[in-house]
């Protein structure tokens, strides 16, 4: 019986050793809600919000920049503050825009929280440089993709990862998406935004969140198949004990 239990214990430990998240590539989160046109903002964005919640569930003590502290029309460079997570400098094309709640700027762009957001144009030439290396980054984008361009994130620090954001190409004006990632293997000091489209387009960005490697705490669900395996093994224990009792 002792030999049987020892083999069973090894089987259980070996099975649970497979629980984990592969750290070879960044883990990404995405949710999108299609817009109502350039003049009407969405009143809610449940898919994007769910992606944000799933992203934040893997982080602890992170900070979010909502751009509310900047004046309307403020250009780059911007000194960004992520309470509890660090600071950064945003450089490149664009400016802060302010739009009253319940409205758009007339072209499909508006803030996610409050009334302020970062707006940038077709050249999409802006980067965020971080004071300390980060391992997690997430943000909202508004009115992206309606001119047939696909947004990209280029995260770099010696190692570079290009992340294509799977938003709808040719989406209606005022659409909202959330995109985030964390990386357990690499940290980054710069995030550059790219746009594959050649047509003139403008985008709005809001509620950017960063996290250090120490602040990433992945949520790892236990697979249902593993739970079934555990139940089966416990059943085997019970059967083994009964047989052992009968023999003794």
* Residues 222 and 59: beta-carbon distance below 8 Å: no
pLDDT band of 42, cuts 50, 70, 90: very high
Q: List the structure tokens of 152.
A: 């990209």
Within 13 Å of residue 244, how many CA atoms lie on the same side as its CB?
11
> What pLDDT shows up at residue 14?
31
Q: Residue 2 to residues 20, 119, 241: CA-CA distances in angstroms? A: 30, 68, 10
CB atoms within 10 A of CB 201: 20
Question: What CATH architecture applies to the domain 25-215?
Answer: Sandwich (2.60)
Say how far apart CA 8 and CA 118 lie, in whole Å.
Answer: 57
- Give the whole-angstrom CA distance, residue 154 versus residue 79: 20
Question: What is the biggest distance separating any 2 CA atoms in the chain, rounded to whole angstroms?
Answer: 85
Alpha helices in the chain (DSSP H): 2-16, 46-56, 224-247
Strand partners for 181? 28, 137
The dihedral sign for the CA sequence 36, 38, 40, 41 = positive
Pairing mode, strands 27-33 and 176-182: antiparallel
Segment 41-52 shows an average pLDDT of 98
Task: Calculate the dihedral angle through the C-alpha atoms of 10, 16, 18, 21, rounding to the nearest 10 degrees.
Answer: -160
Structure tokens at 60: 């602890």
13-39 pLDDT, tens per residue? 333 333 334 446 899 999 999 999 999
Q: Which long-range contacts (CB under 8 A, 24 or more apart) does 85-88 make?
A: 85/61, 85/134, 85/209, 85/210, 85/211, 85/212, 85/215, 86/130, 86/131, 86/132, 86/134, 86/210, 86/212, 87/130, 87/131, 88/128, 88/129, 88/130, 88/131, 88/210
Segment 93-144, tens digit of pLDDT: 899 999 999 999 999 999 999 999 999 975 667 899 999 999 999 999 999 8
DSSP annotation of 218 reads: -
Q: Is the pTM of this model over 0.75?
A: yes
Return the minimum-mean-pLDDT range out of 114-128, 154-168, 199-213.
Answer: 114-128
Q: What is the pLDDT of residue 164?
A: 92
Query: Considering the chain, what percentage of its residues have pLDDT values greater than 90?
Result: 62
Judge residue 130's burial from the number of C-beta atoms within 10 Å of its C-beta, 0-12 exposed, 13-18 middle, 19 or more buried: buried
Q: Which of 46-50, 62-66, 75-79, 193-197 has the lowest mean pLDDT?
A: 193-197
Alpha carbons 5 and 64: distance in angstroms, whole number: 50
Sequence-separated (6 or more) residues with CB below 8 Å from residue 198 = 149
Where do the domains of the chain lie?
A: 25-215
């Amino acid at each position: 019986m002792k030999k049987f239990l020892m083999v069973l214990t090894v089987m259980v430990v070996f099975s649970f050793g497979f629980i984990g998240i592969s750290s070879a590539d960044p883990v990404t989160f995405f949710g999108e809600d299609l817009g109502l046109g350039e003049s009407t903002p969405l009143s809610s964005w449940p898919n994007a919000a769910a992606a944000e919640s799933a992203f934040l569930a893997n982080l602890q003590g992170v900070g979010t920049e909502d751009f509310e502290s900047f004046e309307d029309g403020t250009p780059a460079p911007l000194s960004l503050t992520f309470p509890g997570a660090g600071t950064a400098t945003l450089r490149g094309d664009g400016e802060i825009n302010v739009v009253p709640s319940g409205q758009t700027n007339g072209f499909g762009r508006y803030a996610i929280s409050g009334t302020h957001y970062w707006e940038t144009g077709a050249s999409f030439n802006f980067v965020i440089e971080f004071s300390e290396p980060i391992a997690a980054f997430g943000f909202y984008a508004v009115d992206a993709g309606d001119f047939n361009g696909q947004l990209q994130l280029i995260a770099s620090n010696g190692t570079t990862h290009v992340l294509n954001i799977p938003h709808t190409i040719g989406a209606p004006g005022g659409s909202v998406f959330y995109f985030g990632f964390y990386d357990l293997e690499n940290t980054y000091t710069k995030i550059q935004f790219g746009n594959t489209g050649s047509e003139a387009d403008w985008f709005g960005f809001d509620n950017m969140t960063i996290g250090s490697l120490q602040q990433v705490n992945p949520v790892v669900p236990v697979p249902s198949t593993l739970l079934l395996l555990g139940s089966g093994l416990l059943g085997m224990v019970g059967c083994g004990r009964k047989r052992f009792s009968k023999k003794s």
